[in-house]
Amino acid sequence: MTRLAARLGLELPLLQAGMGAVAGPALCAEVSRAGAGGTLALFKEPPARAARLVREVAAATSRPFGVNVVPEVTGPAACLNQLRAVLPELPRGGFVTTFGLPDADAARAVLGAGHPLVVQVGTPEDADTALGLGAAVLVLQGTEAGGHLLGRLPVDTLLSGVRSRYPHAVLAVAGGIATGRDLADAVARGADGAMAGTLFVPAAESTAHPEFKRWVVEAVAEDTLVTSLFDIGWPHRLHRVLRNPLTDTADRAPATFIATTRVDGREYPVPRYSAAAPGDGTTGRIEEMALYCGRSCTRVTALHPAAATVARVRREYESARRTGPSPPDATTARTSRTEGLHGIQER
């Protein structure tokens, strides 16, 4: 058992990322029941609905699970309102993850409610700040990860730097995790576990759009790129997505509505270049939307229930821990050459 598993009460030191339009109650509960860290995405959910979703997960699993908030998108006040609504509903043993740094009020609310605070960061400086806020776990996101990027360093570089500064901190890595071998190798390099997002996009319980799931399964690492295109609703943050008709042209098209998404029975228009990912309630030009996907997609090859995915990762992890870490492979070498000195090349 690693420090991550021990701290959060998990059987497997693996967290499922709290991805908007993907990580609903069904996925969170299923990952939790399988022994990993299921996480419910709150994103922009109104407080009352957020509390209802947490109650739904709590009714479906007796094992630890988390909720994820995104302070830089909601803003500090709305984030705090979300937390005030969901913390009374979060069972004992539940945890809170934040994408990026929370403010002091949010951190105090989580710690005051007796739940571990898990903060995802992308720089050593933000790691310093997160630990100062009382984070029990740091998730170190490298540029291999899908979705919005919190820094410009490959995950191994970030892990090495933070581990040397904080030898006793509980550290998970995010980016490049799709198999039990990936997880075991990360632990061998000094991590206490990992967070995976792309791995769970195609899960049967994921609320991602069916075409989004299929494209992730069919993709390889070179089908992803880092861009700033999908900035409506979440500006000033680079993101890794699958190539699509918008990423493959130099001309920016008009930001007209290209899709509609349904949430709680209401329909919302989605403009071209929106940061919103396509969920199962989305209709329209799915192929032009933000299809967040990490370089680990090369090793995400099937549409399976989440429990089967966690069980497979567990078997591979246990086997890899017995046989020892794998040597650097061609994929690692190719990543280091193509991603540049600071981890990414923006397109």
pLDDT digits (tens, 9 = 90+) for 45-62: 999 999 999 999 999 999
**Complete DSSP assignment for 141-186:** E-TTSSEE-S-SS-HHHHHHHHHHH-TTS-EEEESS--SHHHHHHH
Which position has the higher pLDDT, 188 or 323?
188
pTM summary value: 0.94
Evaluate if residue 93 carries a pLDDT over 70: yes
pLDDT of residue 327: 72
Evaluate if residue 333 carries a pLDDT over 70: no
Mean pLDDT of 94-107: 98
CA–CA separation, 347 and 32 (whole Å): 37
Evaluate if residue 265 carries a pLDDT over 90: no
pLDDT of residue 338: 42
pLDDT of residue 332: 45
For the chain, where are the alpha helices, taking DSSP H only?
A: 3-8, 25-33, 47-60, 71-74, 76-86, 104-112, 124-132, 155-165, 180-188, 210-218, 306-323, 330-338
Helix (H, G, I), strand (E, B) or coil at 16: strand
On the CB side of 330, how many CA atoms lie within 13 Å of its CA? 2
* Domains along the chain with CATH numbers: 3-205+300-338 (3.20.20.70), 220-296 (no CATH)
Evaluate if residue 340 carries a pLDDT over 60: no
Q: Count the neighbouring beta carbons within 10 Å of the beta carbon of residue 265.
A: 6
pLDDT of residue 331: 44
Which position has the higher pLDDT, 1 or 235?
235
Q: Fill in the amino acid letter for 124.
A: P
Evaluate if residue 326 carries a pLDDT over 80: no
pLDDT of residue 118: 98
Q: Fill in the amino acid letter for 106.
A: A
Burial of 234 (0-12, 13-18, 19+ CB in 10 A): middle
Residue 328's pLDDT band, with cuts at 50, 70 and 90, is low
Looking at residue 286, the DSSP 8-state letter turns out to be G
Cα 319 to the center of its chain, rounded Å:
25
Q: C-alpha angle with apex 14: 13 to 16, nearest 5 degrees?
A: 155
